[in-house]
Structure 1
Amino acid sequence: MTTPLPTALARARSPRPPGPDIPAGHQVTPWPGEPRPVPPRLDRLLRLSLAGGRLRPAASAGALHPVNAHLLLGPDHPLPPGRYAYDPVRHRLRLRAAAPAGAPPGAVAVLTVTARRTVSHYGHRAWPLLLLDTGHAAAALALAGAAEWCPDAEPALLAAAAGLPADWRGAEPEHALAAVRLTPGPPDVLERWSAYAPAPPPAPTPHPPPDVLAEAWRLLGALPGTATAWRPAAAPAVTDAVLRARRSGEPPLRGTPRPAALHTVLAAARRAAPLPWEVLTTPAALAPLAARAAGQGWLADAGALLLAHGCPDDAPPALIRHAHVRAGYAVGLAQAVATALGLASRPVGSWQHGPGGPPHPVHALALGLSPRATPRTEGTERP
């Protein structure tokens, strides 16, 4: 029996710990085809947003990086028009399917998630983190120069545009959650790409899906869309040096930043996502939230916490998707602003029910004056 999304969200926010780890599978989906260089027009954008191994510019829960980018390239690029899978570890593209004549101009990235990577460590708490990670990946692309994104399109349209197979034939499925316009193109670019036939699936996985993973697939498949509208990225202007330096600091992140700096970070988040936002700085405000942050007690000693809240367990499914993807996007932008201000920061994605603090936390960014040690990895801690 399929678990309703509100029930699953309540369970993800419950004190119940995740079960034992399962195999995380491939770090990059093994699509067939020879790797090809990234076109010069997209090289900087992808290097500063998604490229790397476990250490990447976009934050990810547990540094597991479940988000994949499928590039839809039109005839105005050096490579043949078609659908390409981006390999962030090797910084290469693999042609999944050539486009027939008449492919729309421009370049679009359809962002998908491979749920196993995050479920492998976070279990039943994973699926909201997948939505947050999608927002972070979109924010990284926006900070590197992408001008527009589409966070609310029907997942079926996104999947069709990316040419995802209807039958994965034993391969690890991907779920499409957002699109980012990398270079200018027509407003109906997703609809035009969706008219082309899907591409073949990758190689089958040797790991059978445990129940917790199958449930995550069902939940992601139940997420609806609302509108296919391209929205301005609203990303702050930061230097390439800031984008290269952006990393999640190792806790504790002590020392309260100046009010002007906190206001700047808060303003960046509010511009990016229409959610209730606030900045908490006092021990009386931080301690109750630290007790609800999935075992991350170090938050009680953080200098400040930028917090998005207001998505209750029984919110409509479209709002659950919207709130989490937008919150991840906003925290991704806010983290870049914090880096530009010389602050240490770390996203916090897992939240539990409990007394104290604003109701229904969705996502947060812990802030401090300086990290205790050199940052190692992106992501949030597991309890």
Structure 2
Amino acid sequence: MPDAPDRAAAPTRDARAEPPGGFGAKDPAGSSAGAPDCLGRALADARSPRVPALSPYVPERPFPWSGPGLPLSAGGRRRTDAAAAFGGPRRRAAAGARTDSGPGSATVGAAPIRHDAPLDLARLLRLSLAAPAGTSGRLRPVPSAGALHSVRAHLLVGPGCSLPPGRYAYDPHTHRAHPRGPAPDCVPAGALAVLTVAASRTVAHYGHRAWPLLLLDAGHAAAALAQAGPPTADVLVCLDADGALLSAAAGLPRAPARHSEWQAAELEPPLAAVWFTPSGGSVRTIDPLSAWATRARASAPVRAPGPPIAQPRELSRTQRLLSLLAQAPARPAGTWHPASRPEGVTGKTLTTRRSAPPDDLRRPPERELLASVLTTARAASPAGPDWTVVTGGAAPALYTGSPGRPGLLLHAHGDARPTLAHWAARQTWIGTTGAVLLAHGCPDDASPAEVRISHLAAGYAIGLAQTHATALGLRSRPIGSWQQADLGAALGEAPGRDWVVHGLALGAPPAKATTPPATRTATPLTTRTATAPAAPTAAPRATRPTPHSTDPPAPGTTARTTPPGEEERP
């Protein structure tokens, strides 16, 4: 693939300019004033080689909801008056919470937490978002850019769950649910998780490149929750609901007005939702977000001690941009897609998934395994990006999926990995990795809805693909930040139409000590690569040459040459 180290992403645009009133400004007709132009500038800036300015370390803010919260794990139970949190026993009884304690229940004040309920939220959250006990919280079941974990979950709990019905804010560090208000009448059974992002730490670390990473993080969180759902529940995922409806359902103020209504807390633009319902229910006839939005008010966060924290301009810009992307007034209820757990993924797979060190990713995976991971990514979201696998080995090439049948379809010859290393913040270890799964699309002139779904769906699909790779015994590492990564132009197509959005580096597991690595890898990989074309219909494109990068890694350079602040997911 041709490299383009000197090509500016969009030299005529200045992403730092905002329309009067900011990204969220409205014109008299109700549309966002200047939204397409400013979004294009922000997209071009995030893809440009401009390096984020250095900023001081930003510690994680205290959890903004008061009270000890309800312990989700049986081992950490603590007596708390849950009835008072919901407005007294009469209010709690009206919300449908039980007042007795049966087998498998843990009484918390007057309201029981039932660990034998059809939907055990303690297990679901432990397998997805919770920080492992006794750790700093950096490494969790869900990956995050820079291990900053910007995604927050607001739980909307109906009947049939281990928590009493109501609204909760989940604290992943303490594994507790903080009650924020009662449930409206006639909410559907099961639980709804509305995912928001608190952007301050990610913006401090990544600057103008933060907002695409926040969208990817939200997609990863949705995937982690969806895969943690129990077999007794149907899981549906929505990545395109209107932000105003998401806010109303979660009992949050409309995002643009957050600073005037809730000055004590950081702005949390809502981006996605995951719905867990009893298996076999008539979920398709219910709009869960509208049902929860009928009683939109809930408790506000507590004011942190000390003077108010100054709001950096880059943070305000990112929050407004995310709020703009969350607007979907034409289809406020969004589209719900059923989620499925990849084959072989267990609870242990979810809790042991970790992003591998670069040195563990050098061995090329077998083609059958790559095809399986690619199939998982392509099937994750119908409206998501396109997918390509880049391989190394004896016959490096680019492969796509073969519609309607398993296997890899040869797309182009040549080693694209050095070019990918240059595009991904010059992380030279990518030039020697076994394979890279790429999500790509999102053209320069993409609408806000397309930008949002491209990034959320990419994060969601890579999340599923990574756990599937873990179940298959592969090593993996997500790659989130890409600059000048115009894949279409590098392959000779029209520039600005097909950009890399997300990636997943993949490597085969280390060889056993009793078998030399060369014996394990050389023969099967050479044989398989030589027969790479999977279908005769691919021949015209398979013969298109793909030159090597003009900016290869320095000889002997293998791994961590990434400057501080440019590292990706740990």
Which TM-score band (shorter chain)?
Answer: over 0.9
Of residues 133, 146, 149, the one that matches 2:237 is 149
Q: Corresponding residue for 2:420?
A: 289
CA distance in 2: counterparts of 1:303 and 1:348, whole angstroms: 14
Secondary structure of the structure 2 residue equivalent to 1:222: helix
Q: Corresponding residue for 1:165?
A: 253
Q: How does 1:220-369 map to 2 (within 5 A)?
A: 220-223=322-325, 224-225=327-328, 226=331, 228-237=334-343, 238-252=345-359, 253-273=361-381, 274-282=384-392, 284-353=415-484, 357=490, 359-369=498-508
Percent sequence identity is 54
Counterpart residue identity of residue 280, structure 1: V
CA distance in 1: counterparts of 2:299 and 2:64, whole angstroms: 12
Secondary structure of the structure 2 residue equivalent to 1:136: helix
Structure 2 gap ranges (5+): 1-17, 24-37, 73-112, 132-136, 255-260, 397-414, 492-497, 511-557, 560-564
Q: Corresponding residue for 1:376?
A: none
Indicate the RMSD between aligned Cα atoms, in angstroms: 2.3
Larger Rg over CA atoms: 2
Q: Deviations over 1:326-362 (max 9, x none)?
A: 0000000000111011111000010001566564100
Q: Corresponding residue for 1:32?
A: 66
Contact 1:347/1:380 (8 A) holds in 2: no
Q: Give the superposition deviation at 1:96.
A: 1.2
Q: Corresponding residue for 2:139?
A: 55
Q: Corresponding residue for 2:273?
A: 179
CA distance in 2: counterparts of 1:299 and 1:91, whole angstroms: 36
Secondary structure of the structure 2 residue equivalent to 1:346: strand
Counterpart residue identity of residue 220, structure 1: L
Q: Corresponding residue for 2:297?
A: 198
Which shows bigger deviation, 79-88 or 57-66? 79-88
Contact 1:165/1:200 (8 A) holds in 2: no
Q: Corresponding residue for 2:208?
A: 124
Q: Corresponding residue for 1:217?
A: 319
CA distance in 2: counterparts of 1:333 and 1:45, whole angstroms: 16
Which shows bigger deviation, 181-190 or 266-275? 181-190
Q: Give the superposition deviation at 1:245.
A: 1.6
CA distance in 1: counterparts of 2:245 and 2:59, whole angstroms: 26
TM-score by length of 1: 0.92
Q: Deviations over 1:27-63 (max 9, x none)?
A: 5632123310225312211111111111111110000
Moved >4 Å (runs of 4+) = 354-358
1 or 2 for the larger relative contact order (CA 8 Å, sep ≥6)?
1
Counterpart residue identity of residue 173, structure 1: L
CA distance in 1: counterparts of 2:153 and 2:127, whole angstroms: 14
CA 380–193 in structure 1, closer or farther in 2 if over 3 Å, else same: farther
Q: Give the superposition deviation at 1:280.
A: 0.3
Secondary structure of the structure 1 residue equivalent to 2:274: strand
How many residues were matched structurally? Answer: 378
Which shows bigger deviation, 126-135 or 103-112? 103-112
CA 382–268 in structure 1, closer or farther in 2 if over 3 Å, else same: closer
Structure 1 gap ranges (5+): 374-378
Q: Give the superposition deviation at 1:23.
A: 4.8
